[in-house]
Amino acid sequence: MFYADLKRSALAVLLLIALVPLAQAQDASGSDAGADAGPDEKGLLPLEDLRTFTRVYDHIRNSYVEELSDSTLLEYAIKGMIAELDPHSSYLDEKSFEDLQVNTSGEFGGIGIEVGMEDGFVKVISPIDGTPAERAGIEAGDLIIRLDNKPVKGMDLSEAVEIMRGPKDSELELTIVREGMEKPIEITLIRDVIRVESVRVRALDNDYAYVRIAQFQVGTGEDMVKQLKEFRDEHPDTKGIVLDLRNNPGGVLQASVEVADAFLDEGLVVYTEGRLENSDMRYHANPGQVAKDLPMVVLINDGSASASEIVAGALQDQGRAVILGTRSFGKGSVQTVVPITDTRAIKLTTALYYTPNGRSIQAQGIVPDVIVERANVTAIKSPGRTTEADLSGHLGNTNGGEESNSKTREAERSEGEKLLSKDNQLHEALNLLKGLHIFKQRQNAALTTRLPPESADSTTADEMPETDSQPEQE
């Protein structure tokens, strides 16, 4: 009866093929090699475990409340096997494979979040800039527990993503759990066509370049170099660069290598190690930087993952940039898409990557050189005070310098306060860049300038005339 059931099942063919190496080993040894095969005896399948599998399969096929085809059950078995490996390995049917290609090209439909699985729930790795998710305030680390009132527990990642995808202008209801919040949060989003602008470059305080990379796509490195060169042509007095990788979920490995290479002349960028021979790769920087003369600060947070961590780790280990922010996500694994048939593939974790100094980022992340938490900061305004330049009849600056009265100082404070209240981490990065620039300028000046020798009639501090330290009060 058992074998009769197998003949009615596609599993019979699968098992006959799978048991060939085992049968050959048994013929050669005259014993049940598979039952006692140790971990070092490669190529031998565990016969007792295969029997267990066929029994379970047979019970489901004959007794489950709904009749399922053999092909469906076998596909479920494949999905379950891969799902147990790690959160980033997955089974790709035809549509999933197409979606993967679309994501790396930069345009897809949905709400605009990078997600993974954690404890059976969908975890937000990061929202994508300028998308419905980002505008609705979804944050890295949020756990999605319901999608359109359907519990997420029990879904695999592809099922959850399928629900989140949908036509433009259609609604999606999310229920999320956020650390520090007592109750779940319900959010209604309007789906949109997600066009990810991978690179944006703009000016900070006129003389500093702000480079934002939202996601690493094919062509991101080339696009960044092009935009940065154009920026420097328009701002020849550029004094430093802020590279913002916060909430960047990663993307194409080669793109991250190209971005790091743009700021390095030589040396290792990243290397990978895996079980397969072709999994061991080393990526080096080529001569020629896009901004060799400029100091750099790289911004990261717990939404910076994968390719973002490759760039931050390379620039940190090579001493090219100061890393500021909070510890990154910690995804240090490489996924390879392996075609199984013409329409199906698996995305399989095949290697781990390491920074130039041999650090594994997996489950640890990149630790910033300067830790700055994101916070709501309000500047304490000093009471309005009269300055020397406000006094009637005051002396002008003898060097012809521009005067600074209370009104101009208030304007200066307001510009700084805007950035401080909007993005305190970026504010700190800009201040750090200014400090690095000033320090470098003074070092250069000290090397090229000599102080004149003291003259015989020079005045000492003890001989200086007394002056009032404060203006007269009326």
Helix or strand run (H / E) with residue 13: helix 11-18
Beta strands in 301-453 (DSSP E): 322-325, 333-339, 345-354, 370-371
Cα 18 to Cα 237: distance, rounded to the nearest angstrom: 67
Is position 306 annotated as part of the catalytic site? yes
**Catalytic site residue from 90, 302, 317, 333:** 317
Q: What is the number of alpha carbons within 13 Å of residue 213 lying toward its C-beta?
A: 37
Beta strands in 136-207 (DSSP E): 143-147, 150-151, 171-177, 185-190, 192-195, 199-204
CB atoms within 10 A of CB 53: 15
431 alpha-carbon distance from chain centroid: 24
**Catalytic site residue from 306, 308, 328, 333:** 306
Strands 240-244 and 143-147: unpaired
Q: Are 377 and 397 in contact (CB under 8 A)?
A: no
CB atoms within 10 A of CB 451: 6
Using DSSP's 3-state secondary structure scheme, residue 360 falls into: strand
Q: Are 374 and 301 in contact (CB under 8 A)?
A: yes
Is position 331 annotated as part of the catalytic site? yes
Q: Are 411 and 402 in contact (CB under 8 A)?
A: no
Using DSSP's 3-state secondary structure scheme, residue 144 falls into: strand
Is position 317 annotated as part of the catalytic site? yes
Cα 130 to Cα 184: distance, rounded to the nearest angstrom: 24
Q: Which long-range contacts (CB under 8 A, 24 or more apart) does 373-376 make?
A: 373/326, 374/301, 374/326, 374/424, 374/425, 375/424, 376/421, 376/424
Degrees, nearest 5: CA angle 233-236-239:
125
- Diameter over CA atoms, the chain: 117
Cα 75 to Cα 94: distance, rounded to the nearest angstrom: 13
Q: What is the DSSP letter of 462?
A: G
- Tokens linked to 247: 């909430």
Using DSSP's 3-state secondary structure scheme, residue 413 falls into: helix
Q: Are 296 and 321 in contact (CB under 8 A)?
A: yes
Residue found under tokens 């072709």: 278
**Catalytic site residue from 123, 198, 256, 331:** 331
- Tokens linked to 139: 């944050």
* C-alpha dihedral sign at 363, 97, 271, 371: negative
Give catalytic residue positions. Answer: 306, 317, 331
